[in-house]
Amino acid sequence: MSRYVLRRVLHAIPALLGVTIIVFVSLRVMPGDPVSIMFGTQATKIRPEDRAKIEADLGLSAPLTVQYFKWLKDISSGNLGKSFWRGDTVLDLIIQRGPLTVEIAVMAILLSWVVGIPVGILSALRQNSALDYIARFFTVLFLAIPGFWLGALIVLVLLLWWDYAPPLGVIDLWNNPIKNLQVVLGPAVVLGLAVSAYIARMTRSSLLEIIREDYIRTARAKGLQEQAVILKHALRNAALPIITLSGVLFGFLLSGTVVVEQAFNVPGLGKAMIEAFVTLDYAVIQNLVLLYSIVFIVINLIIDVSYAWLDPRIRYL
C-alpha cells in the first residue's frame, strides 16, 4: 500500500504540471485583457506607452513562455504573486479567506453525514413505507431547492422577523468563535442540507442493493442482531459510493460555493475566484486552480486508500 501511495504522489507531479499549463494557456487565449478591464470604458483612451508600462508592472509584457516559467519558479519558492487589483498577495488572500471556506465545507459535509446517512438507512430498510416516502420527499425537495434561494430566504426571515443579521466580514474562529459561527452557520446549513440529500439518496440506493446479497442473508440466518447486520456488514460495503460522492462534493465545497457565499455575503474563496475571473486577475485564478488541484489529488488519494480498508478484496498493484 505504501508503494501505491508513493506512486500516486509521483504521478501527481505531471498532473499538477498539466493543470498549470491548461490554466495558463486558457487564461491567455480568453478574450479581453486585464489592463482594458481595469480601465473599463476609458480603456481606449490609454496611451500606448502607459499601457506598456502598466503591463510591464503586472509582469505581462514578457513573452508567454517566459511568463509561464517565471510563474513556475515563483510557486516553487512559495511566492504566489500579487493580485492585479488588490494590494495584497495571493497568499494573503488564501490565508484570509481560506479558513472560512474550509469551515463551511467541513461543517456542511459533517451535517450531510449526520443527516443523510441515517435518513438513507431508514429509507432503505423501510422501503416504500410512509417513512420512506417522507424521507424521499424531503431529499428531492432539498435537491431541487436552489441554495441561493434558500440562503436568501434564511437571511430575510432572520432580518425581518427577528431583526437579526449575521456579522459581516472575515472573523477568525480562534479570536471570536461565537461571531465566527454566526457567519459560517448559515451557508453551512444550506449547503449541508443539499449535500445530505445527495448522500441520503446514495445511501438508500446503495444499501437497497447490498441488503439483498447472499452474505447479508447468511449474517441474518446465523442469528446476528439486525443492528450488527446493517451497521457492520451492509453499511461497510454500501459505503464505497457514499464515501466517493462525499469526497467529490467536499472538494467542490472547498473550491468555493459562489452562489451561497453570495446569498450570505460571506467572503469565501468561491467569491474571490469569481471576482478574479470577471476581472481576469491571472495571478489569483492560476494559483487558486493550482490549490484546488492539490486539494482534489489529496482527497482522491485518501478515498482510494479507504476503498482498500473498507473492502479488503480491492488491492491496487
Partner 1 sequence: MAQHSDVQLKPPAVLQTGAGALARREGLGLATFVRQFPAGCIGAVILVFVTFFALAAPLVTVHDPTQVKLRERKQIPSWSHPLGTDYEGRDILTRIIYGGRVSLAVSVLSVLLGTTVGALWGVASAYIGGRFDMHSQRLLEIFMSFPPLILAMMLVIGMGAGLWAVVIAIGMTRLPFGVRVVRSVALSVKELA
The residue ranges that bind partner 1 (CB under 8 A) are 7-8, 11-12, 14-15, 18-19, 22-23, 26, 29-31, 127, 133, 136-137, 202, 206, 211-212, 237, 240-241, 243-245, 247-248, 251-252, 255-256, 258, 270, 273-274, 277, 285, 289-290, 292-293, 296-297, 300, 303, 307, 311, 313-314, 316-317
We find the least distance from the C-beta atom of residue 50 to partner 1, in angstroms, to be 28
User: What is the smallest separation between the CB atom of 83 and partner 1, expressed in angstroms?
Assistant: 17
Residue 112: CA count within 13 A, CB half-sphere: 32
Please identify, using beta-carbon distances, which residue of 115 and 276 lies nearer to partner 1.
Answer: 276
* Least distance (Å) between residue 59 CB and partner 1: 22
Angle of the 282-310 helix axis to the 2-29 helix axis, nearest 10? 150
User: Least Å distance between CB 279 and partner 1?
Assistant: 13
Least Cβ distance, residue 292 to partner 1 (angstroms): 5
Q: For helices 147-162 and 177-210, give the axis angle rounded to 10 degrees.
A: 140
Angle at alpha carbon of residue 298, lines to 296 and 302, rounded to 5°? 115
| Cβ distance to partner 1 smaller for residue 53 or 126 | 126
Residues 5 and 9: their CA atoms lie apart, in Å, by: 6
Nearest residue (CB) to partner 1, 31 versus 48: 31
| Cβ neighbours for 309, distance < 8 A, ≥ 6 positions apart | none
Task: Go through the chain and tell me how many residues it has.
Answer: 317
Judged by beta carbon, residue 23 or residue 150, the one nearer partner 1 is: 23
CA angle 219/310/112 to nearest 5° reads: 100
Of residues 124 and 171, the one with the C-beta less far from partner 1: 124
**Residue 184 vs 272, nearer CB to partner 1:** 272
CB of 30 to partner 1, least distance (A): 6
C-alpha span between 27 and 280 (Å, rounded)? 8
Asked if 229 and 116 count as a contact pair (C-beta separation under 8 A), the reply is no
